[in-house]
Amino acid sequence: MQLNPSFKGIAFNSLLAIDICMSKRLGVCAGRATSWASARSMIKLIGITGHGIPWIGGTILCLVKSSTLAGQEVLMNLLLALLLDIMTVAGMQKLIKRRGPFETSPSLLDYLTMDVYAFPAGHASRAAMVSKFFLSHLVLAVPLRVLLVLWAFCVGLSRVMIGRHHITDVVSGFVLGYLQFRLVELVWMSSNTCQMLISAW
C-alpha cells in the first residue's frame, strides 16, 4: 500500500475518475432503461459507419470496379491504411485490455475485427484516419469537407453514448487515426507498386 502517493499518481487517478464519471454521464444510450434509449438504434447506426468491415469491403469493391491508375493508387493506399488501423487497434486493445464504462457486449462485427476492448476506440481511429485521408486525396467542396469532419466527430461521440468507450478512449482513437494517416503518407505506395499488387491477385 502506497502511503505517500506522488503528485503524478494523484493527478492521473483524478483525471481517470473524471473520465469515468463524464463517460457514464454521456452514456445516455448505454441501456434500454437510459434516458435516450429510444435513440439507441440510430446512435448504433452512426457507429457502424465507422466500422472496419464495411470500409474494407467497400474499398475492395471500389478497387475492383476502378478503371483509372490514379483511382487504384488511392484505393490501394486506403486499403493499406484500413488494414493498418485494424491491426494496430486490435494489438493495443489486447495489450491494455481496458473495459468500457458500462457492461455492454461487443457486437459480432466487433469480434470479427477484434475490437472487443475499450482503449483505444477503433471506430474513432478509423473515422479520423478516413476523414483525413479523404480531405487530403479527394477534391471536395467546403460543405462536404465540414460534413466529413462532423461525421468523424459523431462516430466517436456515438461510441461514448452507447457506453462502449470512455471519452479518453475516443480522443486517443482520434490521435491514433491521425498518426496512422501520417504513417501511410510516409510509406505511400506508388502507382507501379499498386499495379504490381493488383496483378498478383
User: Model confidence over 58-96: pLDDT tens digits?
Assistant: 999 998 888 888 888 899 999 999 999 999 998 999 998
Active site residue 51: no
pLDDT at residue 2 tops 70: no
Active site residue 165: yes
C-alpha distances (whole Å) from 142 to each of 50, 67, 135, 149, 181 are: 22, 27, 10, 11, 21
Mean pLDDT of the chain: 85
**CA 102/CA 84 separation, integer angstroms:** 28
pLDDT at residue 57 tops 90: yes
- Whether omega before 5 lies within 30 degrees of 0, making that bond cis, reads no
Mean pLDDT of 128-146: 92
pLDDT at residue 1 tops 50: no
Condensed to tens digits (0 to 9), the pLDDT of residues 8-38 reads: 777 777 787 787 777 777 777 777 776 677 7
Task: Identify the band that residue 153 occupies on the pLDDT scale cut at 50, 70 and 90.
Answer: very high
pLDDT at residue 44 tops 90: no
pLDDT at residue 160 tops 50: yes
Q: Which of 51, 123, 137, 166 is catalytic?
A: 123
